[in-house]
A = this chain, B = another copy of it.
Amino acid sequence: MDHSKEKSNNKNQNLTDLSSLGEFGFIEHVKKNVKNYNNSTIVGIGDDAAVLKVPNSYSLISTDMLVEGVHFDLTYFPLKHLGYKAVVCNISDICAMNGACKQITVSVAVSNRFKLESLDELYEGINLACKRYQVDLVGGDTTSSQKGLIISVTSIGVVDQKKICKRSGANNNDLVVCSGKLGLAYLGLQILEREKQVFLVNPNSKPDLEPYKELVERQLKPEARTDLINFLDKNSITPTSMIDISDGLSSEIIHLCNSSEKGCVLYSDKIYKDQSLLKVCNEFNLDPISVIMSGGEDYEILFTINSSDYEKIENCDFDLHVIGHITNDKKTYLDLGNGSKSEIKSLGWKSF
């Protein structure tokens, strides 16, 4: 756990006030650690706008805003991880169009309790994600907030015009495919929240997160499935529709079906349930399928393919799971495997 408030109170005398640098001083400070990885980045940070070259393809633009106290809690969310995650969420949105993220802009508003060293930690995570995904940080804005930390990231990507996957392309009888492990990030959050409560009662307690390492890591340091986008490309699979799972499976399948003006049947026994998920669900007395349907922030990819593409994924070494199929009747069902079907309701993330 990172008790950043406490630490910064004790060490304030060694930390650097942002006002001593000013905004432009801070931009220069950030620029020192920014590298460009793409030829398409013509001008990066430091002019009125970034300049990008995009030949013979579509550009993709996505944006997300993260607010302290709403989307994250700095009691247990280290700033470095937060910076990493803020970038990854946005890269994931570009993945969800079957594209490749090439550039990002990052705007940050901070209250005066934040010192330069805290922003450095945040940007360390941002730069780490940029390196990991070979994405260029090309601009942003830095300013004061009245309360807390607010981060707004915009991602810019490219996609071949013939390979673009919207949410709206699913056809009757298409297979519904989902990557990876779902529900883990949500459980990771539950564990961190539980440890926070323990800490608040007894500040000398030392949390043992080792048994929950994978789940906590999925919450604090999720990854975007660029590997899946590459796999699909290499295997000549162009999904008919695609979305990333940021809000939970139920919310995402509803978006996909609504946009496509279709319905679906998903099968609860086809949905992959990881051992670590089952174990912690048991400990917390939670239903694994409910966690998977409603728990967000896994950043896995949900997509549909024509059934003729099934053989291309059937025996692949990739973590893909066919979990259902698209129907014409515009209703989204979950087949519970005991002869009963329940209609899927969106219980995803609520912003307000």
Interface residues of A, Cβ cutoff 8 Å to B:
17-19, 21-24, 26, 42-43, 46-56, 58-65, 67-71, 93-94, 96-97, 99, 103, 105, 107-109, 112, 138-148, 150, 152, 154-157, 159, 164, 166-168, 242-244, 255, 259, 346, 349-352
Task: Indicate the member of A19, A24, A94, A167 with the most B CB atoms within 10 Å.
Answer: A24
In the bound complex, do residue B140 and residue A63 qualify as a contact, i.e. CB atoms below 8 Å apart?
yes
In the bound complex, do residue B351 and residue A143 qualify as a contact, i.e. CB atoms below 8 Å apart?
yes
Shortest Cβ distance from A101 into B: residue: B49
In the bound complex, do residue B152 and residue A70 qualify as a contact, i.e. CB atoms below 8 Å apart?
no
Q: Which residues of B contact A108 (CB under 8 A)?
A: 65
- CB contact under 8 A between A49 and B155, given known A19-B352, A22-B351, A22-B352: yes
- CB contact under 8 A between A48 and B259, given known A65-B152, A351-B143: no
- CB contact under 8 A between A48 and B167, given known A144-B67, A154-B154: yes
Q: How far is the CB of A309 from chain B (nearest CB, A)?
A: 21
Q: How far is B146's CA from A52's CA once the two chains are assembled, in angstroms?
A: 35
Q: Give the residue of B49, B61, B150, B164 whose beta carbon is less than 8 angstroms from that of A150.
A: B150
Q: Give the residue of B55, B62, B244, B346 whose beta carbon is less than 8 angstroms from that of A50.
A: B62
In the bound complex, do residue A64 and residue B96 qualify as a contact, i.e. CB atoms below 8 Å apart?
no
Shortest Cβ distance from A27 into B: residue: B351
Q: How far is the CB of A84 from chain B (nearest CB, A)?
A: 19
Shortest Cβ distance from A152 into B: residue: B152
Task: Indicate the member of A145, A157, A166 with the most B CB atoms within 10 Å.
Answer: A145
In the bound complex, do residue B23 and residue A105 qualify as a contact, i.e. CB atoms below 8 Å apart?
no
Q: Which residues of B contact A157 (CB under 8 A)?
A: 49
Q: Which residues of B contact A99 (CB under 8 A)?
A: 49
Q: Which residues of B contact A67 (CB under 8 A)?
A: 109, 143-146, 150
Q: How far is B147's CA from A65's CA once the two chains are assembled, in angstroms?
A: 15
Q: Which residues of B contact A350 (CB under 8 A)?
A: 19, 22-23
Shortest Cβ distance from A143 into B: residue: B351
Task: Indicate the member of A26, A55, A60 with the most B CB atoms within 10 Å.
Answer: A60
Q: How far is B59's CA from A60's CA once the two chains are assembled, in angstroms?
A: 11
In the bound complex, do residue B63 and residue A141 qualify as a contact, i.e. CB atoms below 8 Å apart?
yes
Q: How far is B48's CA from A43's CA once the two chains are assembled, in angstroms?
A: 26
- CB contact under 8 A between A65 and B352, given known A58-B52, A97-B47, A159-B51: no
